[in-house]
Amino acid sequence: KAGVTQTPRYLIKTRGQQVTLSCSPISGHRSVSWYQQTPGQGLQFLFEYFSETQRNKGNFPGRFSGRQFSNSRSEMNVSTLELGDSALYLCASSLAGDRVFTFGSGTRLTVV
């Protein structure tokens, strides 16, 4: 079966711009969570969606937002980009209550 698909794979943006990242989960998976990965901070939780509702949110500023559609696909948006937002953004999907998370290959965002 198809895995978790994230698009685009790479992005270069300028400070102050905004960006939208997309994640298509494994078919049947209704839980989608997002993580930011940087060398210094490791994997940090951004937010989690289930059936179009945000159930959990990490400790990130309001510039980071997301949504989930009825087909479980999810998007995250970062507005007013800062240099520190440069990171690998990973999306993971899972069956409700399942201990196994399946990750996508991520979107590598570079802010210049």
Partner 1 sequence: GQSLEQPSEVTAVEGAIVQINCTYQTSGFYGLSWYQQHDGGAPTFLSYNALDGLEETGRFSSFLSRSDSYGYLLLQELQMKDSASYFCAVPRDSGYSTLTFGKGTMLLVSP
Q: How far is the CB of 36 from partner 1 (least distance, A)?
A: 11
Binders of partner 1 in range 57-96 (CB under 8 A)? 88, 90, 92, 94, 96
Q: Report in angstroms how near the CB of residue 16 gets to partner 1 at its nearest.
A: 26
Which range, of 11-19, 64-72, 76-84, 102-110, touches partner 1 by CB under 8 A?
Answer: 102-110
Checking DSSP bridges between strand 107-111 and strand 10-13, what pairing results, if any? parallel
Task: Count the Cβ atoms, other than its own, within 10 Å of residue 39.
Answer: 7
Do β-strands 107-111 and 87-94 pair in parallel, antiparallel, or remain unpaired?
antiparallel
Query: Which position among 43, 52, 63, 86 is part of the footprint of partner 1 (CB under 8 A)?
Result: 43
CB of 35 to partner 1, least distance (A): 8
Cα–Cα distance measured from residue 12 to residue 73, given in angstroms and rounded to the nearest whole number: 23
Amino acid identity at 60: F
CA distance 96 to 40: 31
> Which chain residues interact with partner 1 by CB under 8 A?
3-4, 31, 33, 35, 41-45, 48, 50, 55-56, 88, 90, 92, 94, 96-106, 108
